[in-house]
Every structure is written in C-alpha cells, then in structure tokens.
Chain A
Amino acid sequence: MIELQNVYKNYGLTKALIDVSFSIEKGEIIGFVGPNGAGKSTAMKIITTYTAPTSGTATIGGYDVLENPLEVRKLIGYLPETVPLYSDMLVNEYLEFIGAARHLNGQFKQRYDWVVEACGLQPVLKRKIGVLSKGFKQRTCLAQALIHDPDVLILDEPTSGLDPLQIIGIRNLVRELAHDKTIILSTHILPEVSTIADRILVVNEGRIVADGSFEDLVQQVTDRNSIYIEVRTTKKDLQSAVQSISDVEEVIYNDETPKGIVGCHLYFTAKTDLLPQINQIVRERSWDILEFQREKLSLEDSFIRLTKSRGNDSGEDTVNTEPSPDEEGGAE
C-alpha cells in the first residue's frame, strides 16, 4: 500500500531523511517512534504529498507522490501534528467545506453523521473552531481526516496534548478503524504504539533504526534476558553459587537490600534458560526466596538503547536530547 524507496530529504543543509526505505501492507497499523526532530513528520509529509522527496521514490496505492499527487491525496486522510484549522469557521461549516473539497456529494450526509458520531462532535457543531478546547480541535481535525473514509490514515502525533481519557478515546477509535485501513501514527509516547501498532518503525536522526513488532524490537535491541533473585544468605554464598551457573553473561548485585538479604540481576542470552539451574541451586542450598522474577524490557528501554547506539556514532550529547518520560505528554 505504501512504499518508500531510498528516500532522502534535505531542508537546505539539514538532512531530514537519509536513505529511508520501507513498505507497508494494506491493513497494517504502523507506529512511527522517535525523538523530536527524528524525521517522523517529514516522512509523513512526503507520503501525503505535502513535501517532495529530494531523491528516491514514494508510492501510495501504486501512485507515485510526484507523478500522481491528486490520486494519492484521494486515498489519504491526514491529521497534521499542528492540528491546523480555520479558527473563524464553525465546526459544521468546516466539515461541509472538507466534504465538498473531497467530492463526497451524495454520500456526504451519511459520512458527516458517522464522523460527528465517531469523533463526538455533536456538542460543538455550531461553535467557532477558534474557541474550542484542544481536545475538540484535535477531534475536529481527526473528523476532517476521516470524512471521506480514506484507505490510508496518516496521524501525526494524534494524542499530543490530550488528557488520558481523550487519549484512550482516540486509541479506541484507531483500533476500530484498523480492520479495513492502513494507518500510520507517529508518537513519542511509547506505550501507545506498543498496544495498537502491528509494527513499529523507530526513526532516529533521519534513519530507520529498527523495524518490527514490539517483541521483535525488544529482541533486536537486546538479545539478553534477565532474572532478578533475592534470597536470605550472605553475599559470599550467593557469589559462589552464581559462579557455578554456566551461561551467565553478567551479574549485577543489588546493594540496597537489608542486612542478611542479598539480591542480584542475572543477565543471560535469550536462547538459554537459566531457570532449571537456578531452581536446583536454591534447592541444594535451601535458601529462603524473597523475590524471584523474570525481568521484561519495556519498549522505553529498547527505544533508548536504539537511539543511544546511533547516538554514539556522532557523539554522546545526542543521547541527552531524548525526551524524558515526564515530558512526553507535552507538545513538540
């Protein structure tokens, strides 16, 4: 459905996209993840024909974005990151304008009713867009993207600046639409894509640094699993026990345990399973187990690792420019 091949995009001297290639099948939901300024929006602008690639080709539904932009635009519904709306228009006037511009003609009434219902716009239809709250503006803009029932939906940060309830609302709507549409949504809020997207593309500094499902991605960043164990014994005892386990790659002792209790993180390759060995040691030494758990890496962890590994190429400071989890809700 969407195919980008060796796409480069330069804004003057800034390289926004470097050799980006990916292809998206019909019906897939894709999460575009990356720090601010990574090139997510630029890739979306190329797909929607708003900007042209400096080199490389992009085709949507078989139409090239440069040769057949009008056909491409018919297929796409687009929610830009900035949520641009005519602030002087009424909500219903605006949707009528978009409906006319999308050549809906006879189907308009039916689509209009659906979109008003789906986006919950009923209470604000006769209001000026300029006075609406951020959430309603976002939904009006989303309605604009959905009114012509597009095959491809491009949502650039659809949940930025919304409160948690509204985020859930949008997430549910996306899931509802998912069965017959190809959807790309960008975000830097990681849990959001890990729950909706079939596939995640991690973008950093203009390149695709990872491509795959959430699990693949975690696998790709780290081929290590880890187990945390906390027992009542001496540190020396634990150390000697750990040394007897083969295949352990790294041991990190927890220094914050109370007196008489020791704990450690055991890292090992994903292919091996340490559980039987650890079980045996525990039984042999008859330790009291206080805590024993597999540790799962969150997408945050893998994301940070990915961007870090790229960041190291060009210097440490790029690592620090990532948004911290607390800032994620804010607008870019």
Chain B
Amino acid sequence: MNDVAIIFKREFRAYFYSPIAYVFSVIFIVLNASIYMFHFFFFGNADMRSFFSTLPLVIGLIFIPAISMRLWSEENKLGTIELLLTLPMRTEHIVLGKFLASFVFYLIALAGTLTIPIILIILGKPDFGPIVGGYFGAMLLGAFFLAIGIFISGFFSDQIVSLIITSLVCGFLVLIGWQYVPMVVDGWIPGMGEFLYNYIGVTRHFNDIERGVIDIRNIIYFLSFTSLFLFLNAKALERRKY
C-alpha cells in the first residue's frame, strides 16, 4: 500500500507542473456555475437540480477526459512507462495510485462548486437531501468516468486522442440515459435504445442518487464498474509484455 502512496504523491504533484489542469478546473467551475446561474435566476428556486442535471455531461465531455488523458499517455509518449513498469511495484498499485491522484484532483475541483450551496443557504432554505445526494453521486460518477479515462489512456501515446475517445465514451454513457436519445435509437433498432438506457447509461443511476434516494444497487453499479476498469487497465498493461 506504501507503493500506492508513492505513485499517488508523484502523480498528484504532476497535475500542478503544467497549466492544463488549472485551466480545465477553472473552465469546469465557471461552466457549471454559469449554466446553473441561468436557471437559478430564471426560476428562483433554492435547489441544485439543474446543476446536477448538467453536471454529468460537463464532466464526461470535458473535465474528466482532460484530467485522465495524461495518466498513461504521457508515460507512453515520454517512454517513462519503461522505467515505471520495471520498478519493483505491482502494476495494480501503480494504477490505483494514478487513479487516486486524479480522483483527489477531481474532488478539489468539485469542491470549488461548493460556493453554490453556500449562496443557497444565505439566500433561502434549501433541502439538503438532494444536495448532499447530488455531491455524493457526483463523486461516484467521477470515479467511474476516471476509471474509463485511465483505461483508455493506457492504449495511446497521444493525450489528445485519449481525451477525444474518453470524451466520446463518457458522452455516450450520459446521453444514452437521457430519455429522448434511447427513443431515437429505438427508432433505428427496436429495443436497443431501451436496453442501453436500462443497462449501460449512467444517468438513471446518477439521478436516483441525486434525488437523495441512496439505493445500494446504484452505489454497487458505480463502484463495480470503477473497479472493473481499473482492473482491466492493470491487465492491459501487463498484457503489453507479450
């Protein structure tokens, strides 16, 4: 476990070596807050429902791919993967260390949006259930998307390619959970849209948690997929040896 901490430390610091992470964090916070503020002033409700309804798309399309793209692609590009994978460490621990570094970075950016609930508390009497649930869901969803991102990043040495593919995959997972997208897919292949909506899309699970309904099945959904992609990432890296 010590190895996880060593990798975590290096990876987490690495986010602050280049301005990319700062830039994307600022974009993330500004974008989320501004989309929300439009609804907030229009409807005047002291809740964060509109914030959490756009959050999956914002993190899935831009923020998560931006912070996961470098995790392995940079190592592939610099060739440092050759030294990293010949250190006396288990590949699983390296993957976990990298994942946790990106996850903590994500949590910090997410914490930047806590200004919104603070404003709500000052201006009105918000219902805390959905807000706490929403943040909890956002943590789980972020972990899941980051696991997908780190897995994809392992296959490419170009960070931009990793970003675009992660963005496409996460975007698909979000959109397929929106009611009208499965309807369109059903129009092409009957039954397909509904299948994807029920079993693949993340939005349904996220919405349940966000409403304040903490159902163990939804938590298991996110945690098991997160673990699966991290496991696949480690296996894919080991597989490269052959």
Listed in ascending order, the chain A residues whose CB lies under 8 Å from chain B are 45, 48-52, 54, 70-71, 73-74, 76, 78, 80, 82, 84-89, 93, 97-98, 100-103, 144
Per-position binary interface string of chain B over residues 107-137, scored 1 when its CB falls under 8 Å from any chain A CB and 0 otherwise: 0000000000000000000000000000000
When the two chains form their complex, are residues B87 and A102 in contact, meaning their CB atoms are under 8 A apart? Answer: yes
Partner of A70, one of B2, B9, B79, B90: B90
Is B241 in contact with A73, judged by CB distance below 8 angstroms? no
B10: nearest chain-A partner, CB-CB:
A97
Flag whether B215 is at the interface (Cβ < 8 A): no
Q: Which residue of B18, B83, B241, B242 contacts A78 across the interface (Cβ within 8 Å)? A: B83
B6 touches A86 (CB 8 A): no
Q: Which residues of A contact B9 (CB under 8 A)?
A: 97, 100
- Bound together, the chains give a CA A89 to CA B86 distance in angstroms of 19
Q: Judging by beta carbons under 8 Å apart, are A100 and B6 in contact?
A: yes
* Given A51-B241, A85-B78: A74 and B88 interface contact (C-beta under 8 Å): yes
Contacts of B223 in A (CB 8 A): none
Contacts of A86 in B (CB 8 A): 14, 78, 80
**In the bound complex, how far is the Cα of B86 from the Cα of A109, in angstroms?**
23
Bound CA span A54–B241, Å:
10
Closest to A89 in B: B17
Complex-state Cα separation, A89 to B88, whole angstroms? 21
Number of interface residues of B (CB under 8 A): 24
Q: Identify the B interface with A (CB < 8 A).
A: 2-3, 6-7, 9-10, 13-14, 17-18, 78-83, 85-90, 241-242
Query: How many Å from the CB of B123 to the closest CB on chain A?
Result: 43
Contacts of B85 in A (CB 8 A): 50
CA distance A93 to B17 in the complex (A): 12
A52 with B86: in contact, given A85-B80, A87-B78 (CB under 8 Å)?
Answer: no
Question: B88 contacts A78, CB within 8 Å?
Answer: no
From A73, A85, A101, A103, name the one whose CB has the most chain B CB atoms within 10 angstroms: A101
Residues of B within 8 A of A84 (CB): 78-83
Contacts of B80 in A (CB 8 A): 84-86
Jot down 9 A-B pairs with beta carbons below 8 A, ordered by A: A70-B90, A71-B88, A73-B86, A78-B86, A84-B80, A84-B82, A85-B78, A101-B7, A103-B88
A45, B241: Cα distance in complex, Å: 10
Q: Which residue on chain B has the smallest CB distance to residue A100?
A: B6
B14 is contacted by which of A50, A73, A85, A88 (Cβ under 8 Å)? Answer: A88
Name the CB-closest residue of B to A88. Answer: B17
Distance (whole angstroms) from the CB of B154 to the closest CB of chain A: 15
With a CB–CB cut-off of 8 A, which chain A residues contact B90? 70
Residue in A closest to B85 when the chains form the complex, CB atoms: A50
Give the distance in Å from the alpha carbon of A80 to the alpha carbon of B13 in the complex: 25
Interface contact B83-A144, CB-CB below 8 Å: yes
- List the A residue with the shortest CB-CB distance to B74: A86
Beyond A52-B242, A86-B14, is A73–B78 a contact (Cβ under 8 Å)? no
Chain A hits for B82, CB < 8 A: 45, 50, 78, 80, 82, 84
The answer to whether B17 touches A102, judged by C-beta atoms less than 8 angstroms apart, is: no
- Beyond the given pairs A49-B241, A80-B79, 10 more chain A to chain B contacts, judged by CB atoms under 8 angstroms and listed by A's residue number, are A48-B86, A50-B85, A50-B241, A82-B79, A84-B80, A85-B80, A87-B78, A89-B14, A100-B9, A102-B87
Tell which of B2, B10, B86 touches A49, judged by Cβ atoms closer than 8 Å. Answer: B86
A46 CB to nearest B CB, Å: 9
- Write out the residue numbers on chain B whose beta carbons fall within 8 Å of the beta carbon of A103: 2, 88
Question: Are B89 and A101 in contact (CB-based, < 8 A)?
Answer: yes
Query: Which of A70, A71, A93, A100 has its CB near the most chain B CB atoms (within 10 A)?
Result: A100
A103–B89 CA distance with the chains assembled, in angstroms: 10
Smallest Cβ distance from B67 to chain A, in angstroms?
Answer: 15
- Write out the residue numbers on chain A whose beta carbons fall within 8 Å of the beta carbon of B13: 93
Q: Which residue of B3, B18, B86, B89 contacts A50 across the interface (Cβ within 8 Å)?
A: B86
CB distance from B80 to the nearest CB of A (A): 4
A144 vs B89: C-alpha distance when bound (angstroms): 16
Instruction: List, in ascending order, chain B residues with CB within 8 A of A102's CB.
Output: 87-88
Report whether B79 and A73 are in contact in the complex, using a CB–CB cutoff of 8 Å. Answer: no
- Docked pose: A93 CA to B10 CA in angstroms: 9
Chain A: CB-nearest residue to B94:
A101
Q: How far is the CB of A275 from chain B (nearest CB, A)?
A: 53
